Amino acid sequence: MPTDAQRRREATREWLFKTNGQVFGPIPEPQLVELLFQGQIEAGTEVGLEDGSWAPLSRIPGFLVHVRKAEAHARVEAEVTGARRLAKRRGAVRLTAAAAVAVVLLLVVGIGAWVLAVKRPWERRSRLLEDFGNGIAITAVRVGGGPRSLDEVAVPDVRAPALAQGGGATRATPTSFAPSSPTSKQRCSPPPRS
């Protein structure tokens, strides 16, 4: 078992390492371990003391625990990074799907509005008159209404003498009348008030 003095000596040792054909160092052992955890060097990186003997970092007993910890840390970091990328990708797919659904919905609403504007399904069309294109729209006509009876129709009253006397336009006033019959009398309604 190493003594405290041996541990202190090992902690103060300085190491050289080779990366991409270049030799770097000497650096203290704790700094070399930090480079290992940062991913700048790997288990297969050759290291050596100043005596010139080189060996892969994973074969040096003092670094074996650090190498295993760094490998585990790198695996966890890769999984976390992969999970983040996957979550980001899934979010992008969901956003794209939501945008596509919104576009399809807008398209369906637009086509529906166009069909309603062109076809006007609420208007009844005469099938007999379809030779005239889309047919003729039949709208409800109300004859009479209000206090009048159903056989009355409003007819404008234009008086020629008033036109000649006033020299200008006259206001047309509606006059109510009922069809002539031996029992009915003609009725007139007063002009509307302004």
Neighbours of 175 (CB within 10 A): 18
Q: Per the structure block, which two tokens stand in for 129? A: 């008159």
Residue 178 pLDDT? 47
Top pLDDT among 104 and 154 is at 104
Q: Name the least confident of 22-26, 99-103, 129-133, 161-165.
A: 161-165
Residue 183 pLDDT? 47
Q: Per the structure block, which two tokens stand in for 104? A: 């399809």
Q: What is the mean pLDDT of residues 99-126?
A: 87
Residue 12's pLDDT band (cuts 50, 70, 90):
confident
Whether the pTM exceeds 0.85: the reply is no
Residue type (1 letter), 50: E
Provide, rounded to the nearest whole percent, the portion of the chain with pLDDT above 90. 20
Domain boundaries, the chain: 1-122, 141-194
Q: Which residues contact 69 (CB under 8 A, 6 or more apart)?
A: 37
Residue 50 pLDDT? 79
- Provide the 8-state DSSP code for 121: T
Q: Which residues contact 104 (CB under 8 A, 6 or more apart)?
A: none
Give residue-wise pLDDT tens across range 149-185: 555 555 555 555 544 455 544 444 444 444 544 444 4
Residue 182 pLDDT? 47
Q: Per the structure block, which two tokens stand in for 123? A: 């208007």
Give residue-wise pLDDT tens across range 13-30: 888 899 888 888 889 989
